[in-house]
A and B are shown apart, each in its own frame.
Chain A
Amino acid sequence: MNNSQLLKGILEGCVLFVISDGEIYGYELVQKLNKLGFTDLIGGTVYPLLQKLEKRGDLSSQRKPSSEGPSRKYYSLTTQGRKQMTEFADQWQSLELVVNQIISRKGEQDD
Chain B
Amino acid sequence: MTKSDEVQELISSNNDLRKKLNPANEKYYSNLLIYVRTAGLFYDDYEVESKLLEILQDIIDAQNDGSTAEDYFGQAPTDTANQLTASFTKTSLRERLKFFGGLFGITAIWTLVIQMNGQEQQLNLVPFVLNGIFMMVLIFAAFWLIHQTIYSKIFEHKAISFASAWIVSLLTVVIFTAIQFTKPAMFNIPITNNLIIIMNSLILIGSIVALFLIKAKWRPVMIAAEPMIWVIALSNIFKVYAPTSMSKTILVITAILSVISIIWFFSYFQWNNRKHQ
Bind each other? yes
Given A27-B62, A42-B73, A44-B80, A72-B54 contact (CB < 8 Å)? yes
What residues of chain A lie closer than 8 Å to B76, measured between beta carbons? Answer: 44
Which residues of A have CB within 8 Å of B54? 25-26, 47, 72-73
Q: Mark B76-115, 1 if CB is under 8 A from A, else 0.
A: 1101100110010000000000000000000000000000
Majority secondary structure, A binding face: helix
Q: When the two chains form their complex, are residues B62 and A43 in contact, meaning their CB atoms are under 8 A apart? A: yes
Docked-complex contact A70 and B77, CB < 8 angstroms: no
Interface size class for chain B?
20 to 34
The distance from the CB of B66 to the nearest CB of chain A, in whole angstroms, is 13
A44-B74, A45-B74, A51-B87 given; A26·B58 CB < 8 A: yes
Q: In the complex, which residues of chain A have a beta carbon less than 8 angstroms from the beta carbon of B61?
A: 27
Q: Give the A-B pair count, Cβ closer than 8 A.
A: 65
Q: Which residues of B contact A66 (CB under 8 A)?
A: 57
Q: Mark A20-52, 1 if CB is under 8 A from B, else 0.
A: 000001110010000000000011110110011
Q: Which residue of B lies closest to A27 (CB)?
A: B58
Residues of A within 8 A of B79 (CB): 44
Let me know if A65 is at the binding interface, CB within 8 A: no
Given A42-B73, A73-B50, A48:B80 Cβ within 8 A: yes
- Asked if B51 is at the interface (CB within 8 A of a chain A CB), the reply is yes
B187: interface (CB < 8 Å): no
Residue B72, interface by CB 8 Å: yes
Residue of B nearest to A50 (CB): B54
**Chain B residues within 8 Å of A, Cβ to Cβ:** 9-10, 13, 16-17, 50-51, 53-55, 57-59, 61-62, 71-74, 76-77, 79-80, 83-84, 87
